[in-house]
Amino acid sequence: MFRNLTPIVRALLYVNLIVYVVQRFTGDGLRSDFLLSNFALWPIDSARLGGPAFQPWQVITYAFLHDPSSVLHILSNMFALYMFGPDVELVLGSRRFVVYYFVCVAGGALTQLFVLHSIYPSPYPTLGASGAIFGVLLFFGVTFPRRRLMLIFPPIPMPAWLFVTLYGLIELWLGVFGTSQGVAHFVHLGGMAAGAAMLLFWRGRTAPR
């Protein structure tokens, strides 16, 4: 089953799972946990609110941390990376896939910092690979629009372009109206927006002059 994994997707799966295991065995709370307090994405004014300080590297490192109290958090992200990542890496090539992945990570982080936190100030951190995952989903939907996907719930088959479009609209609705608290909807949207920007940039560079 794992023979079809591409090199960067395999490395990302390993690193995320190893970090999660370390989190499970060393964490003891958001503010006292070394990994979360230093490498999760904290609001820019977090220190003023009495929390750990924001650091620039958190814009990237938050994507390797997941909620240590919820196995579903990391499993859902890694399952999506396993399902869609290899096809995207094969199309882009490993080097461009790395660039694309981390641009989506950073795009999700910056959207969370400058959009969500300016509207809904929060003393809590953001963590998880979902910004990058949503960027990967966007690329998959654009590149393989007619590929049929079967949802788990509800079990309805649909083309990839429709799945990605509906998922993006749902995330926008949930983000704007503040439902499903504890889920970083603006990270998801930021990851998709950053992925779309990269696609447009690359297409502009390869378009005939």
User: Over pLDDT 70: what percentage of the chain?
Assistant: 80
pLDDT tens digit sequence for 81-128: 998 999 999 999 999 999 999 999 999 999 988 876 666 666 778 899
Alpha helix (H) residue ranges in the chain = 7-26, 34-39, 58-61, 71-92, 94-111, 117-119, 130-143, 160-177, 185-206
The C-alpha angle with vertex 43 and arms to 39 and 46, in degrees rounded to 5, equals 95
- Residue 42 has phi, psi (to 5 degrees) of -95, 150
pLDDT tens digit sequence for 128-140: 999 999 999 999 9
pLDDT tens digit sequence for 16-52: 999 999 888 876 555 447 888 899 999 888 777 677 8
pTM, two decimal places: 0.86
Distance CA 20, CA 24 (A): 6
Q: For 15-18, which contacts have Cβ atoms below 8 Å and span 24 or more sequence positions?
A: 15/64, 16/64, 16/66, 16/74, 16/77, 16/78, 16/129, 17/74, 17/78
Distance CA 128, CA 175 (A): 17
CATH of 2-206, one of 1.10.3470.10, 3.40.50.800, 1.20.1540.10, 3.40.50.2300: 1.20.1540.10
Beta bridge partners of 157: 150
